[in-house]
Chains A and B, each alone.
Chain A
Amino acid sequence: MIGGLFIYNHKGEVLISRVYRDDIGRNAVDAFRVNVIHARQQVRSPVTNIARTSFFHVKRSNIWLAAVTKQNVNAAMVFEFLYKMCDVMTAYFGKISEENIKNNFVLIYELLDEILDFGYPQNSETGALKTFITQQGIKGQTKEEQSQITSQVTGQIGWRREGIKYRRNELFLDVLESVNLLMSPQGQVLSAHVSGRVVMKSYLSGMPECKFGMNDKIVIDKQGKGAASDDAGKSSGKQSIAIDDCTFHQCVRLSKFDSERSISFIPPDGEYELMRYRTTKDIILPFRVIPLVREVGRTKLEVKVVIKSNFKPSLLAQKIEVRIPTPLNTSGVQVICMKGKAKYKASENAIVWKIKRMAGMKESQISAEIELLPTNDKKKWARPPISMNFEVPFAPSGLKVRYLKVFESKLNYSDHDVIKWVRYIGRSGIYETRC
């Protein structure tokens, strides 16, 4: 299991050092600094073995978090734990920065003591932790409160405490998708997938039982079979989407999903990520990029890029940014674009073209002339792909939320009393077209 956990600043100074196991000595702290943080070459692996000691590291802005062990630990678990650790710290004091860590080091030690025992990760749900790691001392608690805390930390529903009350029962559902695309210069889709998340903010009283439904092909087909003659079932079948795979927050009953494909759960209070999913079929690609690069002699390049929006004209895409890479030996660029603003950014070796808004089924174009310095470098320019960023108000995968039902039998509110909000946002992930 994890033998020790260190946090360093960008210079390699130790900010936090907690050792759980005897086999990890003080010299391990230095070994990591010398071999990884101060290493001359770029780090080639997130797992490093130095003198039979293994170091796992992740980096958050310029802070290094490293877990150390001498055993054959579950590597996936160690990384999951490090991410979780970052989440917990962010939930307690915001951004992970050197200053925040220094200011909160007592709290961090207290957290580390709680969520990692002898190197074994323990309950690390912020909701539960915040009930008893408060930096206030817990003198004032009654006996009932104490046992409530412990039963929550160890209980089956470790992510929610009892006795939550709201005057207004409300929930917000965000379907956040990122579309990833790799397209050949000829416009052929080399790979495309959507990775989506359903993020929920719940402000519900008591211990509500929720059921979430979406236009999952498997569910709809099943229902369609149940009511074979029902035309409505068939027409809704057309709008269903095939989900390649999905994963759920630990509140979702996985065995129920496995057997009935229904998503039922008792939600944590506040914001959390209910599920993640991935689709690869019938993706609506919101934009198409058509590049045209022509080399004119050895010192000039002509670039023309057309973007076409491909969705309902009534919808508006926002924050559109097209990034056209330029060779390293570029000396000057002239750009002409019909819409938005375009600039050559020498430090980034790219022409950045920004458009604030663009409606569906439109087209826009940029052309640029790139002057090159003559070089005797034999190596050809690698022509990195043209990448694009945008945000659209629909789910490119076609996912639709069908229902989210809330049942709370003990309290006197019903599904109808809950105010529900649903929002779809599609963003670009890695959206690249080769040129």
Chain B
Amino acid sequence: MMCDFLFSLVCTGEIFELKAELNSDKKEKKKEAVKKVIASMTVGKDVSALFPDVVNCMQTDNLELKKLVYLYLMNYAKSQPDMAIMAVNTFVKDCEDPNPLIRALAVRTMGCIRVDKITEYLCEPLRKCLKDEDPYVRKTAAVCVAKLHDINAQLVEDQGFLDTLKDLISDSNPMVVANAVAALSEIAESHPNSNLLDLNPQTINKLLTALNECTEWGQIFILDCLANYTPRDDRESQSICERVTPRLSHANSAVVLSAVKVLMKFMEMLPKDLDYYGTLLKKLAPPLVTLLSAEPELQYVALRNINLIVQRRPEILKHEMKVFFVKYNDPIYVKLEKLDIMIRLASQANIAQVLAELKEYATEVDVDFVRKAVRAIGRCAIKVEQSAERCVSTLLDLIQTKVNYVVQEAIVVIKDIFRKYPNKYESVIATLCENLDSLDEPEARAAMIWIVGEYAERIDNADELLESFLEGFHDESTQVQLQLLTAIVKLFLKKPTETQELVQQVLSLATQDSDNPDLRDRGYIYWRLLSTDPVAAKEVVLAEKPLISEETDLIEPTLLEELICHIGTLASVYHKPPSAFVEGSRGVQHKRLPGSSAAGVSEAPPAVIPSQGDLLGDLLNLDLTPPTTTGPPPPASSGMQMGAMDLLGGGLDSLVGLLNTVLSEAVSLRSSFNVPVSGGLDDLFDLGGGVGMPMGVFNPPKTVWLPAMKAKGLEISGTFVRRAGVIQMEMTLTNKAMSVMTDFAIQFNRNSFGLAPAGPLQVLTPLSPNQSIEAALPLSTVGPVMKMEPLNNLQVAVKNNIDVFYFSCQYPISMLFAEDGKMERQVFLATWKDIPNDNESQFQIKDCHLNSDAASNKLQGSNIFTIAKRTVEGQDMLYQSMKLTNGIWVLAELRVQAGNPNYTVSTVLVVLAVFKSYFSNTNQNE
């Protein structure tokens, strides 16, 4: 208290002195006094008490003194709003000054005086300055509009400043244009829906012209603004790209990055087969590499952005691995980022170099960097199969160094390598076990325990090892406890005789002595499983594990798209959307990449079934291309709801559009009548020869999905059937190779209706050469959903002891018609009336030789139910309903005209989604 009191005393004394000096007659003394005031202000002292005295100095023709007083005003006007009004007169007067520098100074400063009361006095001077003859004043006034808008948005709109600002985009001076663009962009950001920055080809053209002439900063404003524009077609997109590319040679890195942003965004619109597309890709690499010779802080920004660019378009920098090699003197933040990019670019072609580098890094001093380098070696092993062996031996070398954190990190990555390449590198387990005692980090301990549990049958003293961990069970972190519990249960299932005691011990530790609900629950589940059904326990605990993906920490595709739209900005540095770190309404809009112009469907979605030898581990990670639905990204819930969300997209329209596609596809497929696998509704109406056919679901015959040539001797043919409400995939697996095949497993990529295997692929006996085996795989419809093209496309990965193979097939839509698709008559009538016309789609089926009753019966077998029948003028009209597994209803009207000997059948299909029933349906499913 004493000190504070003294300090304020000193201050008052000082202030008193300053006051006297400020009111001195001598100009020089005055100026010195104001300087002292500003100096105290900078240090954080409160000199607001001097407000009237300082403002008195404002009326001066000395520009330097004036600027100092203005600086003071900007700082304290807010705390002394009444006094600030005293300054208004001077501003108004200065705005009329013959010297443009003074006019600009006045308009620049008055915008910074954030006092509501005086804003209205400023409107007139501002209006004049916006139309000033001098460009220097105009460019300052343009920014002032943004300042005023920040204080009082309504006032700016009422006074019509926004229109004046828009006019400035056509100004003859490039700097005025640039500042106007900057101001408009900022104002538009706080009004996401206003069409303020009305970007059309004319304005774009103006901006592109100004781009060549304005300052480096102006170029950045313009490029950032251009990035928000969506060209109408690929030709416009190309012409803009052509005019932006020269900016890539600018000395200012920010200009280069903003140009890259525009190009990356507009490139989405260009057809891939265009020559220009290839040229553009080639042009992007050198400037990105050049950014790495900038100052370290800029390198960091550039590297964070390159990380995004590499994920989106790996082809750009795939040959530039060397420039990302770490230099000894790089700051640590640059080193870590470079390492990240090195892993992303690692491929078979450059892996040897990369590994040599990583090994070098692993001996550096910085702990974080070394850890990351070790982890990187593991990731290389997982990504490039050919290098796995070398990576493992490198890791073993590193373990030999006995440097504690290196060993721990190595063990964590080796666990992942085991999972990726089962039964290949287990010989190193012994070496790992030697280091058991030195592990003190939970992640490493957990990894080691996992390894021991997983390979318990090969480690002679597995029980002893695990027991040693068990001693300090309660001191371990949850991660380790859970892992230990599972590992011991695994061990027990593998060696039941010797380990009974151990498993009891761990179960009681987990269930009785632990407060952690996760641990307790897992403990109870294991306990029940083991006590009731050991066989089931074995199936659950020792189940086949899904393959792990080779790319870790990829940014989620929709976020990546958004971040690409924010290249160069903070969002791209943080790798977070602006909404995550910006307060208020600014930047909350989510930006998206434009789709390719072709029919509004962005580049053929996951046609990314990789070719043979392209070792992609996890199919679920294939969908790097944007989802085609226009709706918000699906929330992370599973099953029906998520599926429906995704399919529903933005709402009713897109849904109907979707079903229209199904049905019209069916029509177009009519022509390929004899190819049943092409599957579609038409197959249902394939009633031609069907008079004598047994009733039941229409089942197309098997076709070859995976020819033996493409799958190292494994041939798979198959079909889909629906039996008793269960969709089944029936396959014939034929071994045309010379060796025995075992260890079959299957996995689906995300698909339109969420089809997923309901259980493992049951191929129990090994498949000897020239032998065939039938396998039926029950499917569920609660898997992850993504719209496919065509809609009923399914991408499948089948694994055996030889390799992983990929193929895609199409299932008949009729598989998805549920048994409970019979709608109540009243409901049917009510909904039928509500159908908007544009939800209708019609098509005809020719050459059908069945009468209406027979057709109705046959369709019923495929879960298409006839609700009512009407006969008008010799025409039978059947009203039918069906329900898809994801809860979407389809209603249909089938007209059968019995007349000429050809029995022509014409149908009208009406599609609609009954949202009410859809929702109740999902609720039931939950």
A residues touching B (Cβ–Cβ < 8 Å)? 1, 13-17, 19-23, 26, 29, 42, 44-47, 49, 52, 54, 56-58, 69-77, 79-83, 105-106, 109-110, 113, 117-118, 120-125, 132, 135, 137-139, 141, 143, 146-147, 149-151, 153-156, 158, 182, 190-191, 193, 195, 244-250, 253-255, 257-258, 273, 275-276, 278, 378-380, 382-385, 387, 430, 432, 434
CB <8 Å contact, A137 and B253:
no
Residues of A with C-beta under 8 A to B246: 254-255, 257-258
Given contacts A54-B581, A378-B402, A383-B363, contact A139 B61 (CB under 8 A): yes
CB <8 Å contact, B250 and A250:
yes
Q: How far is the CA of A1 from the CA of B587 in the complex (A)?
A: 12
CB <8 Å contact, A72 and B289:
no
Tell me whether B228 is interfacial, beta carbon within 8 Å: no
Expressed in whole angstroms, the minimum distance between the Cβ of B334 and any Cβ of chain A is 9
Expressed in whole angstroms, the minimum distance between the Cβ of A50 and any Cβ of chain B is 11
B residues 277-333 touching A (CB-CB < 8 Å): 286-287, 289-290, 293, 295-298, 300-302, 322-323, 325, 327-329, 332-333
Which residue of the partner chain, among A46, A113, A125, A132, contacts B297 with CB atoms under 8 Å?
A: A46
Binary interface encoding of chain B residues 799-824 relative to chain A, with 1 for a CB under 8 A from any of its CBs, else 0: 00000000000000000000000000
Q: How far is the CA of A188 from the CA of B718 in the complex (A)?
A: 55
Tell me whether B390 is interfacial, beta carbon within 8 Å: no
Nearest to A56 among chain B residues (CB) is: B297
Residues of B with C-beta under 8 A to A13: 43
Tell me whether B450 is interfacial, beta carbon within 8 Å: no
CB <8 Å contact, B100 and A146:
yes
Given contacts A47-B573, A73-B570, A118-B146, contact A14 B44 (CB under 8 A): yes
Residues of A with C-beta under 8 A to B70: 113
Nearest to B179 among chain A residues (CB) is: A120
B residues touching A (Cβ–Cβ < 8 Å)? 35, 38-39, 42-44, 61-64, 67-68, 70-71, 75, 98-101, 104, 108, 111-112, 114, 134-137, 139-140, 143-144, 146-147, 150, 173-176, 179, 182, 186, 212-217, 220-221, 224, 243, 245-247, 249-254, 256-258, 286-287, 289-290, 293, 295-298, 300-302, 322-323, 325, 327-329, 332-333, 353, 357, 360, 363-365, 401-403, 566, 568-574, 578, 581-583, 586-587
Expressed in whole angstroms, the minimum distance between the Cβ of B102 and any Cβ of chain A is 9
Expressed in whole angstroms, the minimum distance between the Cβ of B295 and any Cβ of chain A is 6
CB <8 Å contact, B295 and A146:
no
Which residue of the partner chain, among A77, A118, A155, A384, contacts B217 with CB atoms under 8 Å?
A: A77
Residues of A with C-beta under 8 A to B179: 117, 120, 122
Residues of B with C-beta under 8 A to A146: 99-101
**28 CB-based A-B contacts, threshold 8 Å:** A13-B43, A14-B44, A15-B42, A17-B44, A44-B332, A45-B300, A54-B581, A71-B587, A72-B587, A73-B570, A74-B224, A79-B298, A109-B71, A113-B71, A118-B146, A120-B143, A147-B134, A153-B175, A154-B136, A244-B286, A244-B290, A246-B290, A248-B251, A250-B252, A253-B212, A254-B247, A278-B286, A380-B401
Expressed in whole angstroms, the minimum distance between the Cβ of B516 and any Cβ of chain A is 32
Given contacts A46-B297, A74-B220, A156-B174, contact A118 B143 (CB under 8 A): yes
Which residue of the partner chain, among A17, A118, A191, contacts B147 with CB atoms under 8 Å?
A: A118
CB <8 Å contact, A76 and B215:
no
CB <8 Å contact, A75 and B44:
no
Residues of B with C-beta under 8 A to A380: 363, 401, 403
CB <8 Å contact, A430 and B327:
yes
CB <8 Å contact, A122 and B44:
no
Nearest to A21 among chain B residues (CB) is: B150
Residues of A with C-beta under 8 A to B98: 143
CB <8 Å contact, B249 and A248:
yes
Q: How far is the CA of A106 from the CA of B38 in the complex (A)?
A: 8
Residues of B with C-beta under 8 A to A382: 363-365
CB <8 Å contact, B249 and A257:
yes
Most B-side CB within 10 Å, residue of A79, A135, A273:
A79
Nearest to A158 among chain B residues (CB) is: B215
CB <8 Å contact, B250 and A117:
no
Name 7 extra pairs, CB < 8 A, besides A72-B582, A247-B256.
A44-B332, A76-B257, A81-B217, A138-B99, A158-B215, A248-B251, A254-B250
Q: How far is the CA of A182 from the CA of B215 in the complex (A)?
A: 38
A-B contact count (CB 8 A): 272
Residues of B with C-beta under 8 A to A26: 44
Expressed in whole angstroms, the minimum distance between the Cβ of A301 and any Cβ of chain B is 17
Residues of A with C-beta under 8 A to B173: 154-155
Given contacts A72-B587, A75-B569, A149-B101, contact A254 B333 (CB under 8 A): no
CB <8 Å contact, B42 and A120:
no
Q: How far is the CA of A71 from the CA of B571 in the complex (A)?
A: 10
Expressed in whole angstroms, the minimum distance between the Cβ of B361 and any Cβ of chain A is 10
Residues of A with C-beta under 8 A to B221: 120
CB <8 Å contact, A250 and B251:
yes
Most B-side CB within 10 Å, residue of A42, A71, A123:
A71
Nearest to A250 among chain B residues (CB) is: B216
CB <8 Å contact, A276 and B251:
yes
Complex A-B, nearest 6 residue pairs according to Cβ-Cβ distance, in ascending order: A245-B286, A150-B136, A76-B254, A258-B246, A254-B246, A77-B254
CB <8 Å contact, B587 and A80:
no
CB <8 Å contact, B587 and A105:
no
Residues of B with C-beta under 8 A to A122: 139, 175, 179, 215, 217
CB <8 Å contact, A117 and B140:
yes
CB <8 Å contact, B290 and A247:
yes
Nearest to B283 among chain A residues (CB) is: A258
Given contacts A71-B587, A147-B100, contact A44 B249 (CB under 8 A): no
CB <8 Å contact, A83 and B295:
yes
Given contacts A76-B257, A83-B295, A109-B67, contact A121 B217 (CB under 8 A): yes
Residues of A with C-beta under 8 A to B147: 118
CB <8 Å contact, A106 and B254:
no
Nearest to B324 among chain A residues (CB) is: A191
CB <8 Å contact, A45 and B333:
yes
CB <8 Å contact, A249 and B251:
yes
CB <8 Å contact, B175 and A154:
yes
Expressed in whole angstroms, the minimum distance between the Cβ of B591 and any Cβ of chain A is 11
Residues of B with C-beta under 8 A to A79: 253-254, 295, 297-298, 301
